[in-house]
Structure 1
Amino acid sequence: MRDIVKDYLDGLIPRRAFMKRMSQAGFGVAAAASALKSLEPLARAQSGQGARGQAQTSVNSPAGSLTTPFEGTGGELLAEQLRAAGVKFLFLGNGSGLGSLCDALLDRPDMQIILAIHEDHCVSIADGYSKASGKPGFVMFSRVGTPHATANMYNAMKDRSSLIITSDHAESDREGRDGLEDIDDWLETVEQFTKFRWVVREPERIPEWTMKAFKLATTMPGGPTYLRFPRDILYKKKVRAGIYPSGTFNIPMSLRPSPREVEQAARILLEAKSPLLNVGYEVTASGAVASVVQLAELLAIPVTQSTSWGADFPTTHPLFLRSSAWRYPETIDAYLNIGGTMEGSASDGGGRLRGAKIIHACVDAGHLGTAYPVHVALAANIKETATALVDAIKSMATSQRLTQIRESRLAAAEDFTKRMRESAESIARRQFDRVPLTWECLSFEINAALDRDAYIVEEFGTEGPRSLQWFPFAEGEKTKIGRTTGYSLGWGVGASIGVKLARPDNQVVCLQGDGGFLFGQSEALWTMSRYDVPIIVVIFNNRCYNETRARMYAQGGRQSELKKDMLSYLGDPNVDFVSIAGAYNIKGEQVQSREQIKAAMQRAVKATRDGRPYLIDALVERGQSGAEAWYPAYSVAKTRTRRV
């Protein structure tokens, strides 16, 4: 029935054919007629017709569009189009170019400004909101703030986040003169970080271009779009245009894979002796986790996780290999990458895939066969792909054969994952009483203090797996958001604000390294404090960039040989993060032992239940051997010849 309904809504079959196919599928005439009646409003909306089947038109809008006439300033047109798109929060920075929009918002109390004092945080807050809500995030800041925002625009593009990022632009009669806050080509500066970019030069087309930016940002594969509005068109009065309802730019992307390719992939998986399934960010983005779990369980295929901002498979599932993926003893003869990218040697696991038949499925066709050769490529929606593979496999094998395959593999996979987890936990628990804290102990106690359905926003590096293994991420359990696949630091604290705005009735905890926090994230605490955003921020403070050190030492160069790290030590000064939080009227405390973190988490939970954020500065081990506190010292004061 699903295929019949989709074909009807897509306009591929008329009413008569719908009734005929429903009858062939076993539905009675009355049931088919009832279904058709319920679908008719949706069909009319998708075809651009009104309730009586008449094409709807309005002033200054393309013929046949379902728009509502509106007259006002350019800023009012923008606000009205955002309202029609369902925008509740506007993530704004400070700038006089936003004045016309802010004037309009005074008369629209249903739309809430969330102000950030740095443009990069406008983007990270919107990104967290979009990831947690599944809705697009709208951003606007001063035109000259665009360079500040590009780090998190890059992160959003890597994650294909649905963001609409906007700014003002030079007045139409001053553009191109190298004037105040202007350069010749602003769009070129963000080309690599955006899916679409445009300068809106006609005030009556503000709704049209805004609608297009929403459509492109939300159509998978998504990605941030960027619009610039010259100040004079935002302030222009008595502009007449049509406002687009949200349904006119919501494009369903339930693209089904090719039946022929599905059959090939299903046969490979069915005949494989030791297949492996790898999941990526598109699984979460397309709401396909349950479908992928069903696929993995059907043949008891072990599962690995590629780089992703989400947990794309339940981390407590016996088929999930965690970071032990490439220690799995079986020789891999079939590899299904579903929803992730193929990153060459990074995905190859040191040659484990040599000789394996590769299947790659994702909606972003640009990733298929570009970084790694594949035997079968499936360019389609991930949920549709997983469902189609399950159906195809079931059609090719008897239930008895499927049971035999499943039982023969499941016991081995369960035994392996159980042994690996028990071993890791046993080693970690022996060190729980260390001072300073181990990453494992700190994470264990944080998890123990939280609600079962808390949201965890993390921005960890190489130490991440040690921490995250203590949090169960699954349906009905905790939800993971972060780290971005872009890996540009300075995202996590702002993103956690957006997550809490999207999920006010869930606990939200931000897990952040000290190095990442020092990438300009303290300003996000201002927004957190102003809007009473009750988040627990835990800084894993090892006074070091562990990830940088680990990568450099792995190259075996002079730094590794002499145990002298030129860049990574962050002590001297030892930053007082609790005092930084206090400057924004946020309470906090420093801990370094297991008993201290237990008590601190109780106070943090109480503070957030009372409606305020709380920061914990947790001193943790560095985890790297060598001269941990060494750095190439230099004192300007000692070079002076005058005491000035």
Structure 2
Amino acid sequence: MTDSTVQTIVKQLLDGQLSRRGFGKALMALGFSTAAADSLGNMVSDSSTTTTAPEPLPRSGKVVEGTGADILIETLLAADVEYIFATTATGMSALFDALALRPQIKFVLALQEGQAAAMAHGYELASGKTAALFLPGVAVPNAMNNLYNAWKDRSAIAVFSDAQATTYRGRNQFQQMDDWLEPMKQFTKWAWEIHHIERVSEFTRRALKMANTPPGGPVHIRYPRNVLDVGGQKQTVYPQSLFRVDVNLPPKQDLIEQTAQMLLAANKPFINVGHEVTRAGAVNDVIELAEMLGAPVSQGYSVYGDFPFNHKLFAGFYGPGAPRGVFSSDVFLNLGSEMPSWGIIAPPPPKKAKIIHARVEYGDIGNIHPTDLAIAGGMKEIIVAIKDTLRTLISEQELAAIAQPRLEKEEGKFNRRKEKRWQKAQPDWNASPMSWDRVGHELEQQLEQDAIIVSELNNRTPLKWLNFAQDKKRLIGQTTGFALGWGVGAAMGVKVAEPDKQVVCLLGDGGFLFGQSETLWMAARHEIPITIVIFDNEAYDGERERIYQFSPLAKDKQRRHLWKDISCYLGDPPVDFVKLSESFGVEAEQVIQPDDMAKALGRAKKANRDGRAYLIAAKIMQQGKGANENWHPGISIADKREKKV
């Protein structure tokens, strides 16, 4: 061992070429003890964090010289972008050069573009910051599945891609087609290709601004090679803060007064909430408003849990399905959510009810159902204004006189439902394969109080056992795009945004097999310590139920017995998720007996604390129509051979 060898390893740590764990392993390979390696690692880390933070850009900006890629990356730095989610591409050579010279931005590598998009999506959902996603131009179609999900969730993602040099456009040659932007226009707020290198900073700023301005959404910019690569450029880069637009404006006061009067006059007011409530940080305000009125609250169509599921006023989910008590309501207040309709497998609110619809995304108001009051503005501003106006119209004592009997009634219903849920779960509590209820219960008992749950489950049963509330657990997912292949990548993006929170991904075996196995490589490569729980019942349960529901054959009482599940059984061949996970360097185990679930979650927690991801393959019951039949079409191409080759 020489001093120069140690110096090389230290330099690799400082340059980001070695992780902290890799640094320790390298030193121990040279003969250092674990304690000595940790001590030296702490010294190096402390010294690396004492550098002076960069001065904020002045209002007049700064002049940047270099390639188009240098200017692009400097523009992102001016917008405080910390992470880039990306895959590799030869067309990004200049971008990689620019990033290598600016280690302030961390390059998070994915093996597949769709999972890079899922990571960017999860990062935005958890942080509220615009995510930067870099894709090879030719690989944009591969990312569309999860970019569609991001579009449905109104997630602010700036999508940057390379492109063939403009010199060769129109020849239908290497990685070319007539229009690469057109496929992305269906689920982006804006799509553009830069033709003039002198406008790189301008258009990059615009992409960030448009993605982030509510309602958010993906924005796509293509940079041809002759825009990225050419050096000798000089452009002014400005602070991104000078280009932000605040649309969370106060609502019209006369509309708020009408709303308050309608709510006070109602016998059975009802509130439905959506993602704009969480994005505005207004969940506690909704809780207070609901308690002021004693009004039940349903969870609308949303990627978040926008109201605590274990609150006594929680009435259930409005889409798919309908919540309890909505059809007896006489005033329906829809806050930050799409209006329920059959298009999201939900019946509309009752015709007799007066409809009040409040959104930031005001273009969504009044598109389907008649609306008595349409309120545009910031969601927090609207909810706070309603609360304040209620207090000006009547006294606290009068409000309490209205709300208290309703609260007591709803609390009684809540306690009865809770007891009924417990009793209903008992027959299968110790069953193997495990029940969905038992796994949900064990998750609540074992996970951190403030864990973030990223769910790609079609079945809501486990979520009903979890304590989602302020300063408690937080729910992200299922995405309102409902396109499979999202959950693990999104959970890793959430962990990047919230490194100090336990992050647990819940998904089915079908969802994991939908192009997500390579995410395990990403978790190991970047040391992203999440827990992945696969609900393995060897079937697409939810899909099978919906197929049965819409089947003309199943609706025919005379021929219903002929119905068979053609496409949803996944148990042949059986998948060994443990071996699959371990092949990527992620520790895993299978759980079959319910008493073993708590121990497995404990081992997962320890692995996460040590900086490692962990996978649990939990054997779960099949549910619904066609469950456990496990028939599938017998197709063998091998049997059709006349020649055994």
The TM-score bracket by the shorter chain reads 0.7 to 0.9
Residues 270-285 of structure 1 correspond to what in structure 2 (within 5 A)? Answer: 270-285=264-279
Q: Deviations over 1:174-219 (max 9, x none)?
A: 1122121011111111111101111011222111111111111111
Offset, 1:613? 0.6
User: How far does the alpha carbon of each residue in 1:307-360 deviate from its partner, in whole angstroms, 9 at most, with x for none?
Assistant: 211111122221112349633387210101101001323689646512000111
1:406 matches 2:403: yes
* Counterpart residue type for residue 498 of structure 2: R
2:132 aligns with 138
TM-score scaled by length of structure 2:
0.87
Match of 1:44 in 2: none
Corresponding position of 2:472: 477
- Mapped pair 1:444 → 2:438: no
C-alpha spacing 1:320/1:327, structure 2 compared with 1 (3 Å): closer
Aligned to 1:23: none
Match of 1:500 among 484, 491, 495: 495
Q: Supply the AA of the counterpart residue of 2:254.
A: R
Counterpart of 2:42?
none
Alpha-carbon separation, structure 1, partners of 2:344 and 2:610: 45
- Determine the structure 1 residue equivalent to 2:607: 607
Amino acid at match of 1:360: H
2 CA distance for matches of 1:222 and 1:312? 18
CA distance in 1 between counterparts of 2:490 and 2:99 reads: 24
Indicate the residue corresponding to 1:29 in structure 2: none
Structure 2 CA distance for aligned equivalents of residues 247 and 323 of structure 1: 38
Report the equivalent of 1:240. 234
Partner SS for 2:437:
helix
SS in 2 for 1:173: helix
Q: State the secondary structure of the residue aligned to 2:64.
A: strand
2:328 corresponding residue in structure 1: 331
Please tell me whether the aligned partners of residues 328 and 416 of structure 1 are also in contact (alpha carbons under 8 angstroms): no
What are the within-5 Å matches in structure 2 for residues 145-164 of structure 1? 145-164=139-158
Q: Report the Cα distance in structure 1 between the residues aligned to 2:494 and 2:469, rounded to whole angstroms.
A: 17
- Name the structure 2 match of 1:34: none
Tell me how far apart the structure 2 counterparts of residues 611 and 151 of structure 1 sit (CA, whole Å): 30
**Structure 1 residues 185-196: aligned runs within 5 Å:** 185-196=179-190
State the distance in 2 between where 1:80 and 1:643 align.
60
Tell me: CA distance 1:529–1:355, structure 2 relative to 1, closer, same or farther (3 Å). same
Change in Cα spacing, 1:308 to 1:503, as seen in structure 2 (3 Å) is same
Q: Secondary structure at the match of 1:270?
A: helix
Change beyond 3 A, Cα 1:218–1:431: same
Runs of 4+ more than 4 Å apart? 346-352
- Take 2:270 and 2:78, find their aligned partners in 1: how far apart are those partners? 45
Q: Give the Cα–Cα distance (whole angstroms) in 2 for the partners of residues 625 and 551 of structure 1.
A: 9
User: Is contact 2:300-2:317 (8 Å) kept?
Assistant: no
**2:428 aligned counterpart, secondary structure:** coil
2: CA distance between counterparts of 1:186 and 1:604? Answer: 43
* Residue 314 to residue 146, structure 1, CA distance change in 2 (3 Å): same
Q: Distance in 1 between matches of 2:610 and 2:95?
A: 34
Aligned to 1:548: 543
* Whole-angstrom distance in 1 between the partners of 2:66 and 2:475: 43
**Residue identity matched to 2:298:** T
After superposition, where does 1:373-412 map in structure 2 within 5 Å? 373-412=370-409
Contact 1:343 1:372 in 2 (8 A): no
Give, in whole Å, the separation in 2 of the partners of 1:349 and 1:640: 50
Are residues 287 and 216 of structure 1, via their aligned partners in 2, closer, same or farther at CA, if it must alter by over 3 Å? same
CA distance in 2, matches of 1:640, 1:264: 75
The answer to which of 206-215 and 242-251 deviates more is: 242-251
Query: Are 2:86 and 2:135, in contact at CA under 8 Å, matched by a contact in 1?
Result: yes
Name the CA distance, whole Å, in 2 between partners of 1:382 and 1:223.
18
Question: What percent of counterpart residues are identical?
Answer: 40
1:31-85: per-residue Cα shift (whole Å, max 9, x none)? xxxxxxxxxxxxxxxxxxxx9xxxx99xxxxxxx742211111111011111111
Cα distance, 1:379–1:552 mapped onto 2, change above 3 Å: same
1:422 partnered with 2:416: no
CA deviation map 1:261-282 (0-9, x unaligned): 2122211111000011000011
Change in CA separation of 1:285 and 1:329 when aligned onto 2, cut-off 3 Å: closer
Deviation string for 1:291-318 (max 9, x for gaps)?
2122112111110001211111122221
> CA separation in 1, counterparts of 2:508 and 2:453?
14
Output the CA distance in 2 between the equivalents of 1:535 and 1:616.
Answer: 11
Amino acid at match of 2:87: G
- Could you say if the C-alpha distance between residues 330 and 486 of structure 1 is closer, same or farther in structure 2, counting changes exceeding 3 Å? closer
- What amino acid maps onto 1:120 in structure 2? G
- Which amino acid is 1:629 matched to? N
Tell me by how many angstroms 1:395 deviates: 1.8
Distance, in Å, in 2 between the alignment partners of 1:330 and 1:184 is: 52
How far 1:249 sits from its partner (Å)?
2.1
- Residue 253 of structure 1: how far off its partner (Å): 2.4
2:3 is matched with none
Q: What is the RMSD of the two structures over their aligned residues, measured on CA atoms?
A: 1.8
Cα displacement (A) at 1:430: 3.4
Report the Cα distance in structure 2 between the residues aligned to 1:178 and 1:160, rounded to whole angstroms.
34
How many correspondences in the alignment? 581
**What is the letter of the counterpart of residue 572 of structure 1?**
D
Moved more, 599-608 or 158-167: 599-608
Q: Is the 8 A contact 2:340 2:346 kept in 1?
A: no
Shift of 1:563: 4.4
Alpha-carbon distance in 2 for matches of 1:604, 1:445 = 13
Aligned position for 1:180: 174
CA contact (8 A) 1:326 1:349 kept: no
* Unaligned 5+ runs, structure 1: 1-50, 58-64
Tell me whether 1:567 sits opposite 2:567 in the alignment.
Answer: yes
Identify which of 59, 79, 92 aligns with 1:85.
79
Alignment of 1:14-53 (within 5 A): none
Contact in 2 for aligned 1:125/1:496 (Cα 8 Å): yes
Amino acid at match of 2:528: V
